[in-house]
Amino acid sequence: MLRLRRRKNRILVAMAVDELRWADKAACKGANPDWFFSTEYEETEKAYALCTNCPVKFLCLEYAVKDPCITGIWGGTSWRKRNQIRRLRKLRNDYATTYRQEEW
């Protein structure tokens, strides 16, 4: 049982590392992290500017959309914008599920 748990933990750690591998290519690497969690307009604009040309923007966005607890600017979006994306995706999935059920 202990061996199985250790193996599971190793797999989970490997998955987490793999999931964040894209962060090495981030445009914000080395930038001031405060810009991404600030309430000052000038600072958040600097963060959005970095995100605009970031090569891993969509991976970053997907990562942040998956977890509603993640705050700050990720993938060029605010927490509020990501909530909108989550709501739209839920609506789309609900619609798709309903449509599929009516088909049968």
**Which residues here bind ligand SF4, judged by CB under 6 A?**
26-28, 50-51, 54, 56-57, 60, 73-76
The end-to-end CA distance of the chain, in Å, is 44
Rounded to a whole number of angstroms, the minimum distance from the CB of residue 89 to ligand SF4 is 19
Cα(2)–Cα(19) distance, integer angstroms: 26
Task: For residue 36, give the 3-state DSSP assignment.
Answer: helix
Rounded to a whole number of angstroms, the minimum distance from the CB of residue 93 to ligand SF4 is 25
Nearer to ligand SF4, 51 or 65 (CB): 51
Rounded to a whole number of angstroms, the minimum distance from the CB of residue 55 to ligand SF4 is 8
Q: How many CA atoms lie within 13 A of 18 on its CB side?
A: 6
Nearer to ligand SF4, 26 or 65 (CB): 26
Rounded to a whole number of angstroms, the minimum distance from the CB of residue 85 to ligand SF4 is 14
CB-based contacts of 43: which residues, under 8 Å, 6+ apart? 32, 34, 35
Nearer to ligand SF4, 3 or 30 (CB): 30
Q: What is the DSSP letter of 22?
A: G
